[in-house]
Amino acid sequence: DAGITQSPRHKVTETGTPVTLRCHQTENHRYMYWYRQDPGHGLRLIHYSYGVKDTDKGEVSDGYSVSRSKTEDFLLTLESATSSQTSVYFCAISKLGQPNTEAFFGQGTRLTVV
Amino acid sequence: GQQLNQSPQSMFIQEGEDVSMNCTSSSIFNTWLWYKQDPGEGPVLLIALYKAGELTSNGRLTAQFGITRKDSFLNISASIPSDVGIYFCAGQLRSGGSNYKLTFGKGTLLTVNP
């Protein structure tokens, strides 16, 4: 394993409630990503971070916010969960931009919004 | 945003057959990555490519970075049942300044019949 821990691994929540997913790394990588995976859509980037307090939007960022207050943690928050946000969420880390860089994934968080 | 077109979407093959899948883009990438995802798991990196024209093997897997830097392919020789899964390509490009972004194809679902 590449030293990435996602928590929780599974969560069921009600529509309208806030939800926070956590990604923790022990690799000291600069880049961290949040993706969602849905049938027929592959992996879609929600937000990513290129350093502490430095984040940017991905292609499906509406309804999501992120925070990175320290290198090892990247939090994804659904301010008011909706059923369309039922998905599997993956965190990834990378040293992108440097020679021989690779991106490594966590094991995913399955979120169900009822 | 940048898009990667991955094909085919799915493949059904007999054990022992060779497999080929590819990704194309309208953008130039400086890194190509190939991943495999097993059910219930996060994607796992198979092969990383860093130079145009580069051909890299990992056991029965061979991948190439296209000369134009806009495409890549992955070949699997003599397929076995454990090759079943979803295969993703990913491309890295500079998104501005010193920041980079990783974009994924939608995946190829491979089924191997024993």
What does the pLDDT look like over A12-33, one tens digit per residue?
A: 999 999 999 999 999 898 889 9
Q: Distance (Å, rounded) from C-alpha B6 to C-alpha B73?
A: 9
pLDDT score recorded for residue B66 = 95
Q: Which two tokens stand for residue A45?
A: 């980037």
pLDDT score recorded for residue A103 = 83
Residue A97 has pLDDT above 60, yes or no: no
B102 interface with A at CB cutoff 8 Å: yes
Q: Give how far A16 is from chain B: nearest CA, Å.
A: 27
Nearest Cβ partner for B45 among A42, A56, A104: A104
Burial of B20 (0-12, 13-18, 19+ CB in 10 A): middle
Residue A100 has pLDDT above 80, yes or no: no
Q: Give how far A15 is from chain B: nearest CA, Å.
A: 24
B89 interface with A at CB cutoff 8 Å: no
pLDDT score recorded for residue A1 = 55
B39 interface with A at CB cutoff 8 Å: no
* Residue A50 binned pLDDT confidence (cut-offs 50, 70, 90): confident
A7 interface with B at CB cutoff 8 Å: no
Q: Distance (Å, rounded) from C-alpha B3 to C-alpha B70?
A: 11
pLDDT score recorded for residue B3 = 74
Per-residue pLDDT of chain B (114 residues; tens, 9 = 90+): 557 899 999 999 999 999 999 999 988 888 899 999 998 899 999 999 989 999 999 999 999 999 999 999 999 999 999 999 999 999 887 666 556 677 889 999 999 998
Q: How much is the average pLDDT of A51-62?
A: 92
